[in-house]
Amino acid sequence: IVKKDLNNDNLRLCHRLDRNTCGLLIFAKSNEIENEITNAFKNFEIEKHYLAYVNNYKFNKLHDILEDYLFKDTKTGFSKVYKEKVVASEKIITEYSVLEQNKLDNYAILDIILHTGKTHQIRAHMSYIGHELIGDSKYGKNEVNKKFKKTKQLLIAYKYNFKFNKN
């Protein structure tokens, strides 16, 4: 669909965004560049930044790096975060910085950097610390989503930092 919309058969999508997440995508014009960028994502040479609108403006820290464990239940498609490792869980690292706090409407806007990239990592991790994404029907709160009149999570891939080796 994207290739058709861009009207260029030579473009190759180098990564994906989760359903209901919007934002920047990276395309390549050749197989060689596609492989380079795909490998750079796998090797964390491209730092992904997301804007996230979350419930609850109060944070103990305005910047933190969260390290926990995520277990994805393949039967339900639901991921759960644990402080300690459990069977079949994987370590997740999510960094956030609070960009704005709105006391009146009780929400905050965060810059989130993924240091690991697991399914539903941001959504599950933010919910785990009591800051559910606004509009998230799976990990969020229905009353919050209704308050803000949102049916899709407010999570936007907005910036990529390229950290390629100079060799």
Query: Which residues are catalytically annotated?
Result: 18
The CA dihedral of 27, 28, 29, 33, to the nearest 10 degrees, is 180
Nearest residue to 21 via CA among 102, 121, 107: 121
Distance CA 130, CA 140 (A): 9
Q: What angle do CA 71, 115, 103 make, to 5 degrees?
A: 85
Q: Return the structure tokens found at 108.
A: 């905050």
Distance CA 167, CA 161 (A): 18
Q: Return the structure tokens found at 106.
A: 């009780």
Count the alpha carbons within 13 Å of 106 in the hemisphere toward its beta carbon: 10
* Token pair 């009149």: residue: 149
